[in-house]
């Protein structure tokens, strides 16, 4: 059997906040070891899609989800799927870096500690491995027990990446991860992402068209809760098939 290249498979996904239909029958696959950019104007459902993939929408009252979302072959909405376990496999990064007000070390091991890991050697190794992968080890290795809130915004965001990586996720969801950062910190995060895609699959929501075009392998364009066009990033940017896509990426709306 051919190896499945998709890490996430979404089929006919509808998501309602009360009466409001925020996702209208979305079917999309995200490939392994690729960066996929999700673009579209404000309110088109980008964040809702991301939150559906690690079931963060479970926390919002009156949300209804229909359709299927699979992580490899596991249905993430199956009753047997534990949401905490899922979020270890599908990590998420937000616009504002959100480290906990603890030490750098305790931030990184957070997910391992809540799953009961107590072995100091295992935790120490996870901290070094994750901070290395998030490209911040050299900057913080001598201050692991200082409060993470004392770091710059870009450093905090890389601590959050390390925190997500510590549980060895399969997928990283990133919701505008650089939009609150200065240009230098943003390019550090971008460089980190390009290294991470060797080992992880990344889905990034971005409003920055340059970022989408230089970082991603594939791009998905959404409008009013619908997937309008999805394909190789160069095709979406150079030869969009839909007029709405062309209008959006050329800055005519949004
Ligand atoms: N918690 C919520 N309760 C009710 N409606 C919501 C909620 N979250 C999002 N919505 C609505 O769902 C629709 C899609 O919102 P979503 O945040 O997914 O869009 P987005 O494309 O990420 O927008 P933006 O680029 O502005 O962040 C919008 O109409 C929004 O107002």
- 197-207 tens-digit pLDDT: 999 999 999 99
Among 35, 29, 50, 38, which residue's Cα sits nearest to residue 194? 35
For residue 211, CA distances in Å to 36, 40, 69 come to 11, 13, 27
- What is the residue extent of each domain of the chain? 6-249
Please tell me whether residue 226 adopts helix, strand or coil conformation: strand
| Separation of CA 48 and ligand 1 centre (Å) | 6
In the predicted structure, residue 254 carries a pLDDT above the cut 70: no
Question: Which ranges of 18-74 does DSSP label H, i.e. alpha helix?
Answer: 46-53
pLDDT at residue 4 in the model: 73
Residue in the structure block whose two tokens are 């005519």: 252
Antiparallel, parallel or unpaired: β 171-175 and 201-205? parallel
Single pTM value for the model = 0.94
Contact 222, 193 (CB under 8 A): no
pLDDT at residue 251 in the model: 85
pLDDT at residue 1 in the model: 55
The number of the ligand 1 atom at minimal distance from the alpha carbon of 207 is: 25
In the predicted structure, residue 3 carries a pLDDT above the cut 90: no
pLDDT at residue 80 in the model: 93
Averaged over 111-125, what is the pLDDT?
A: 94
DSSP assignment of 208-233:
-HHHHHHH-SEEEEEETTEEEEEEEH
Is the torsion defined by CA of 206, 209, 215, 221 positive or negative?
Answer: positive
The number of the ligand 1 atom at minimal distance from the alpha carbon of 44 is: 21
Contact 14, 77 (CB under 8 A): no
The number of the ligand 1 atom at minimal distance from the alpha carbon of 51 is: 18
Cβ(57) to ligand 1 under 6 A?
no
Among 132, 115, 47, 55, which residue's Cα sits nearest to residue 90? 55
Of the candidate CATH numbers 3.40.50.300, 3.40.50.720, 3.30.465.10, 3.30.499.10, the domain formed by 6-249 belongs to: 3.40.50.300
Residues 66-115: pLDDT tens digits?
A: 999 999 999 999 999 999 899 999 999 999 999 999 999 999 999 999 88
Query: DSSP state, 7?
Result: E
Residues 149-194: pLDDT tens digits?
A: 999 999 999 999 999 999 999 999 999 999 988 999 899 999 999 9
Cβ(254) to ligand 1 under 6 A?
no
Largest CA distance in the chain: 56
pLDDT tier at 2, thresholds 50, 70, 90 = low
Averaged over 32-46, what is the pLDDT?
A: 97
């Amino acid at each position: 059997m051919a190896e499945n290249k998709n890490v996430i498979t979404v089929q006919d996904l509808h998501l309602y906040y009360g009466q409001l239909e925020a996702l209208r029958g979305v079917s999309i696959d995200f490939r392994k070891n690729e960066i996929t950019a999700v673009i579209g104007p404000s309110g088109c459902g980008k964040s809702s899609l991301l939150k559906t993939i690690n079931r963060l929408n479970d926390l919002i009252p009156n949300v209804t989800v229909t359709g299927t979302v699979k992580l490899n072959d596991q249905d993430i909405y199956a009753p047997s799927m534990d949401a905490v376990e899922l979020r270890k496999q599908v990590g998420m990064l937000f616009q504002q870096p959100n480290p906990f007000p603890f030490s750098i070390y305790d931030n990184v091991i957070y997910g391992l500690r809540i799953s009961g890991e107590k072995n100091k050697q295992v935790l120490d190794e996870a901290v070094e491995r994750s901070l290395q992968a998030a490209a911040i080890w050299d900057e913080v290795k001598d201050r692991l027990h200082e409060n993470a809130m004392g770091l710059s915004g870009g450093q905090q965001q890389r601590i959050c990446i390390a925190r997500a990586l510590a549980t060895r996720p399969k997928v990283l969801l990133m919701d505008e991860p650089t939009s609150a950062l200065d240009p230098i910190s943003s390019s550090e995060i971008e460089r980190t992402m390009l290294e991470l895609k060797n080992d992880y699959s990344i889905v990034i929501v971005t409003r920055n068209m340059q970022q989408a075009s230089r970082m991603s392998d594939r791009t998905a364009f959404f409008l009013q809760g619908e997937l309008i066009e999805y394909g190789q990033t160069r095709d979406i940017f150079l030869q969009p098939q839909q007029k709405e896509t062309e209008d959006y990426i050329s800055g005519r709306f949004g």
